[in-house]
Amino acid sequence: MIGLLRRLHRDERGVGLIEALVSSALLAIALVVLVGSFSTLAIASRRAELVALAQATARAQAARIEAAPYQANGDYSAYYETLPWGVTRTVTVAWWDGVSAWVGTQNANGLQKVTVAMGSDGTAAVTLEFAKANR
């Protein structure tokens, strides 16, 4: 019996090495998952930052156009804000037709609907609409 135990004990050589390799592999897998989650978090954080920046810029742009004098032709480009990097702007103007709809052609009714859309990375983050009257 003692001889058998000695043989079994001798056969355990290298077990420590295999245990170390398995634990290193498990640690490497855990680190890959952890680093992957950090990169996802960084991407989501940057995206949220750009959306917040686009929203703040849209509010400032809408306030500036709303305070500007009425432009009969709908060209408010002289009142555009300088955009931060990564933010895009779209300003559209429609005119009230005097009956039931907003149309894209200028008329003498003196009521405009201005739409300010700001986005980041090609997606619209916020769209603001307001009316301007020729006073």
Using one digit for the tens of pLDDT, what is the confidence trace for 42-79? 888 888 888 888 888 889 999 999 999 988 888 999 99
What was the pLDDT predicted at 35?
87
Q: Average pLDDT of the chain?
A: 85
Neighbours of 31 (CB within 10 A): 10
Tens-place pLDDT, residues 13-36: 778 888 999 999 999 999 998 888
Write down the pTM of the prediction. Answer: 0.65
Residues in a beta bridge with 117: 90, 127
Q: Which residue is associated with the tokens 């009969």?
A: 72
- Cα–Cα distance, 122 to 25 (Å, whole number): 41
pLDDT tier, 12 (very low <50, low <70, confident <90, very high otherwise): low
- Cα–Cα distance, 98 to 92 (Å, whole number): 19
